[in-house]
Amino acid sequence: MFLGTHFPKIDDKGRLVLPAKFREGLAEGVVLSKGQDRSVVVWPVAEFADYAGRVREASRSDARARAYSRVLFSAASDETPDKQGRISVPQALREYAGLERDCVVVGNHGTVEIWNPASWDEYLNAQEPAFADLSEEVVPGLF
């Protein structure tokens, strides 16, 4: 499980040093792709394979499912962290998420997200009041 918020930098070659606490869970390889809210999602390979299987089950006659699948898979890049725990973030994904040197890396349970710091702050500031005020189930039957 990936937890926490970290503030690594992207180097001049487009590489990001993964937070030390995430490296073991990502050592076998990762898949990076576009995420919602203009983030980059870093999936452990096995987690991405499971998710890809569920996406493949969606109806090919549904235009939204086709569009989602095309955007997700066409932007995907498989990477293997090097010995220093660095991964390359492709230029197209850096542009999509507005990533330059500074970034925010957040754990999101089974995935990791890479955000532009201003975008992350804006997102968090918009979401935290509703989170703090929750008084009913978010996921019915779970919590």
pLDDT tens, residue by residue, 35-62? 999 999 999 999 999 999 999 898 888 8
Domain-embedded: residue 65? yes
The pLDDT value recorded for residue 82 is: 96
Domain-embedded: residue 15? yes
Q: Whole-prediction pTM value?
A: 0.91
Average pLDDT over residues 22-46: 97
Lookup: tokens for 12? 């001049």
Question: How many other C-beta atoms can be found within 10 angstroms of the C-beta atom of residue 141?
Answer: 5
Residue 121 contacts by C-beta under 8 Å, 6 or more apart in sequence? none
The CATH number of whichever domain residue 113 belongs to comes to: 3.40.1550.20
Number of domains in the chain: 1
**What range defines the domain where residue 57 resides?**
5-132
How would residue 139 be classed by pLDDT, with cut points 50, 70 and 90? low
* Mean pLDDT (the chain, rounded): 93
Alpha-carbon distances, residue 108 vs 12, 40, 64, 125 (angstroms)? 26, 12, 24, 17
**Beta pairing partners, 43:** 31
Q: Which residue has the higher pLDDT, 48 or 135?
A: 48
